[in-house]
Amino acid sequence: MNTFRTHSKFGSKRRRFNGRDFARATNKFSSKKIDISRFIAESATNTVKHEEYISKYRFADFKIDQKLKNNIIKKGYDVPTPIQDQAIPLILEERDLIGIANTGTGKTAAFLIPKINHTLLNKNSKTIILTPTRELALQIEKEFRDFSKGLNMYSVSCIGGTSIRKQFMDLRRNYNFVIGTPGRVKDLIQRKSLNLSLFNTVILDEADRMLDMGFINDIRFILEKMPEKKQALCFSATLSSEIEGLCNKFLDSPVKVSVKVRESSENVDQKTIKSDDKVGTLCDLLAKDNFKKVLIFGRTKHGVEKLSKILKMKGFIAESIHGDKTQAKRQRALDAFKGNKIRVLVATDVAARGLDIDDITHVINYDMPGTYEDYIHRIGRTGRCQKKGTAITFI
């Protein structure tokens, strides 16, 4: 059995980042030195009493179609989350909005519900939703299908890694929502398959991550194709100067809603491990009974795939998701993880962005994150819905 200790400071040997990490230094966070002590925190769930948010509304109170309310009830929704409580009434008033909230706070429903209601009132309404990753786009599409069931409205998914021919065909049919990633959406516009002059709403979801991933020029290109008169919504975990500049140019007197109260979840125990045998230590951890559903983050596509194969050889039921895998294989791995058919999923940051998976007990940073913001994103996959989680970082 390997032994390990927790540490709060760097050792004398400074680790090297590869070329990809240096390339990321273009965003304003990468230049910040990461203090390892920020990776250590006890869960405050049972030790600190925090002021509970009291919603002004219930979903039954919103001025939306009763058929939409029925779909909301079927999903088990009753009391809105803070971002839903504050954003939905403003979006229903067709205000432009900047929503600042952590991941996992219910942003998707906050913009889908009012926009579906608008579409019920105007069947010619068209909304485009831009997201940083394919996985997040597919999650939004699933949420859309749940909320719009039986309402006679349709969406088209426009993401990379899937057949563009099918998307050509889908865009020729009657639809009200396009949900896609910036690169593929731009491609479809340039191929004359997508005409944004017909759209009256644009939504940027996880705008900070789209900028971090280098989509700023694609986003500008897309926004410039929109009509001057439109509703524009921007949701982000942080509000950088770049996002503010984008909003100032393309949003009309937006109202700002901020419900971000802390950087990391109070439900997550955060620990660090220093080990001379990372694979052995990782296997010892995964063998523990309480490591029931584990998401492991690696830095590179090659490293993630290699670690996944090693864990399989060691007898663990594991899969991987990264950019070199086809969308179909990534989706199968995600579905298996969500359905508890596998216990361990190994992923890169980009592939795992925006994942909404229930009951992840542990997040393990097998490779150090490139930025503190990446760290916050990673550990936010556990400790959701008032459940306790654990984040472990190898240093």
**CA end-to-end span of the chain:** 19
Q: Which of 210, 228, 258 is the last residue of a domain?
A: 258
- Are residues 384 and 272 part of one domain? yes
Q: Does any domain span residue 14?
A: no
User: Among the three residues 200, 229, 258, which one is the final residue of a domain in this structure?
Assistant: 258
Q: Do 287 and 374 reside in the same domain of the chain?
A: yes
Does residue 185 fall inside a structural domain? yes
Tell me, yes or no, whether 4 lies in a domain: no
The predicted-structure confidence for 121-153, as pLDDT tens digits, reads as follows 999 999 999 999 888 999 999 999 999 999 999
- Clarify whether residues 95 and 219 are in a common domain: yes
Same domain, 185 and 307: no
Q: Are residues 172 and 36 in the same domain?
A: no
Q: Is residue 52 part of a domain?
A: no
Can you give the residue range of the structural domain that contains 220?
A: 59-258
pLDDT value of position 324 = 87
Q: Residue 328 falls within a domain, yes or no? A: yes
Is residue 8 in a domain? no
304 and 237 share a domain? Answer: no
Mention every residue, 6+ apart, whose C-beta is less than 8 A from residue 315.
none
Do 40 and 84 fall into the same domain?
no
pLDDT digits (tens, 9 = 90+) for 262-300: 555 678 889 999 988 999 999 999 999 999 999 999 999
What average pLDDT does range 201-205 have in this prediction? 97
Same domain for 102 and 207?
A: yes
**Torsion sign, CA atoms 311, 315, 316, 321:** positive
**Cβ-based burial of 215 (10 A; exposed 0-12, middle 13-18, buried ≥19):** buried
| Helix intervals (H) in the chain | 19-23, 66-74, 82-92, 107-121, 134-147, 164-170, 182-190, 207-212, 216-224, 241-250, 278-286, 301-313, 327-338, 349-352, 372-379
- Point out the domain boundary residue: 238, 258, 278: 258
pLDDT for the residue 137: 94
The pLDDT assigned to 190 comes to 97
Looking at residue 97, its pLDDT comes to 97
CATH code of the domain in which 339 resides = 3.40.50.300
218 & 359 share domain? no
Residue 12, domain member (yes or no): no
What does the pLDDT look like over 328-379, one tens digit per residue?
Answer: 888 899 899 989 999 999 999 876 666 778 889 999 999 998 877 788 888 8
Q: How many domains does one find in the chain?
A: 2
Question: How many other CB atoms sit within 10 Å of the CB of residue 342?
Answer: 19
In this model, does residue 48 exceed pLDDT 50?
no
- What digits encode the pLDDT tens for the residues 1-23? 444 444 433 333 333 334 333 33
The answer on 183 and 248 residing in a single domain is yes
- pLDDT for residue 367: 94
Same domain, 36 and 178: no
Q: Is residue 1 part of a domain?
A: no
pLDDT tens readout for residues 106-129:
899 999 999 999 999 999 999 999
Instruction: Assess whether 292 and 322 both reside in one domain.
Output: yes
- Mean of the per-residue pLDDT values of the chain: 86
